[in-house]
Amino acid sequence: MTAPVESPSIRRLADWDPTRLESLAQDYGSPLYVLDLERVRENYRRLESAFPDAEILYAVKANALGDVLETLREEGAGLECASAGEVERALAASESAAENGATGANVHYTAVNPPARDLEWVVDAWEEYPDLTITVGAEDTIDRLEERGYDGRLCLRVNPGIGAGHHEKVQTGAAAKFGVPAERAVDVLADAADRGFDVVGIHAHVGSGVSSDQLGDHREFVSRMGDLARDVSEALAGDGDGLEFVDVGGGFGVPYREEDQPLDLEAVGDATRDALGDVDAALTIEPGRYFVADAGVLLTAVNTVKEARDTLAVGVDAGMTTLLRPAMYDAYHPIRNLTAAIEAEQHGASDDERGRETVAQTIAGPICESGDVFCENRHLPVSERTDVLVIGNAGAYGYEMANQYNSRPRPASIVLEDGDVRLARRRETLEDVTRLEREARDSEPSANHETHAEHDTR
């Protein structure tokens, strides 16, 4: 196990160097995602210290940038994937991080109502990486895998009937969409074992962004998983070696608001082990947000300032197409005016003590939607055109949810590591936005009839 590092349990927005961030915006343009890979490593090592005996998988959906995946694989994390595309990224990252070639042993595919194309791609990948694990959340998916010749490592996602998280849209533990009801899990797994599948684990995820005050829900959820693991092991006693692991998901929250306190990871680790109880299987966890949220920020430039009726309306070049969480979840992200902060530092004063009055501002993007706002009536040093703002805790579910609505190109991403800066993903252009349409028009007529049917007929 890597020795834990001495690092703060949360990196606040004020901990980022404003002069360096503003220079990055000047060098690379805006909007711009900035990700600190050293902070990703620190977060991994802190969590590993709190869960020393657990298998740790990184939930790739939080941030699938190849640099992130390779960094976490180098630290020892496995990769939990929600799509065939994420499996492809995970295998590529494992190949890059491995000294003796990649295997699928550290890659889990968690199939949620998987499209046929996804299943076929992953089953093909399994032929090359036979130690890859597929987690299914429906009996239908087991049937579909069998029809495709898959009889490899199988984990069952169960629905424990309890959910938690920062927003109702991410409280998955009780949602009908996710998993087989826990009371049916034993029968489903026994049937899968009888059909020749290599049953290796059970899995559930209570939700995303679980906070300290939801620790009771987490404990109850894990307790139910422990009870289920013991029932499954007893039922499968004659069908093999029993379960390899009990995966209790991730969902470890981070404090987005300045006054919020970080999770007590040691307490979470102790509560998890106590609630799980004595099981003859390894504990597996799969955090995503915890590793990357405070490792990333979004830089955006002010282009419009106007007096509205009840607020100062500040327009920036990032929008809900760049960072969707505020519009989708009413999520709070800290915001700092870097230009004002640098001016204040130069004069030995705080942000609002050099002639910049602190006023209520609504920070909004360029998208033609009233929901395209990052904050409303937030008290900040008054913004001026060409100022650079930084939005904090943007490393998780930032670029991953970026899109081209209003035909807007997606932003660039850079990574910081060992004092160096590297462009990790170039900025899209208008040509990129229309590229697929132009390629479709220019392709051979037969290519336009490429298989469109993705539905299962088997």
Q: What Cα–Cα distance (Å) separates residue 167 from each residue in 322, 371, 376, 442?
A: 20, 17, 19, 44
307 is in an annotated binding site: no
288 is in an annotated binding site: yes
128 is in an annotated binding site: no
Q: What is the DSSP letter of 432?
A: H
89 is in an annotated binding site: no
Q: Which of 96, 84, 176, 178 is nearest to 126 (CA)?
A: 84
88 is in an annotated binding site: no
Cα–Cα dist 198/193, whole Å: 6
Rg of the chain taking only CA atoms, in angstroms: 24
146 is in an annotated binding site: no
Q: Which residue numbers are catalytic?
A: 368
3-state DSSP call for residue 158?
strand
Q: What is the DSSP letter of 55?
A: E
- Enumerate the β-bridge partners of residue 422: 415
Cα–Cα dist 285/385, whole Å: 45
Cα–Cα dist 371/210, whole Å: 25
Q: Which of 91, 81, 94, 88 is nearest to 121 (CA)?
A: 88
Structure tokens at 254: 């981070």
- Identify the helix (H) or strand (E) that includes residue 230: helix 215-235
353 is in an annotated binding site: no
Positions at the binding site for pyridoxal 5'-phosphate = 251, 286-289, 397
Positions at the binding site for substrate = 289, 325, 329, 369, 397
